Amino acid sequence: MEEKTDQEKIIQGLDRAEIMSNDLLVILRFLNKKLKTLDVKKAQDFILFNFISEIFKEIE
């Protein structure tokens, strides 16, 4: 099994982040309908930023 380059790891991580972000967006929209106070975009950005930060920590 060949070792992945850092670029391949980043691309794979970003693909996973996009999938998770889409899943989270569905959940956040549901919660927004129930709570009426949740800023879906801010919550999604916060979660995605933290996830991408974790990917870069693993690469270092």
pLDDT by residue (tens digit) across 27-57?
877 877 777 766 777 777 887 888 788 778 7
Confidence grade of residue 60 (pLDDT, cut at 50, 70, 90): low
Q: What are phi and psi of 53, to 5 degrees?
A: -60, -40
The structural domains of the chain, with segments of one domain joined by +, span 11-59
Give the pLDDT confidence score for residue 38 in this predicted structure: 65
Confidence grade of residue 9 (pLDDT, cut at 50, 70, 90): confident
Q: Which token pair is 30?
A: 């549901």
CB 10 within 8 A of CB 59: yes
Whole-prediction pTM: 0.43
Taking CA atoms, 52 is separated from 16, 27, 33, 44, in Å, by: 10, 19, 27, 12
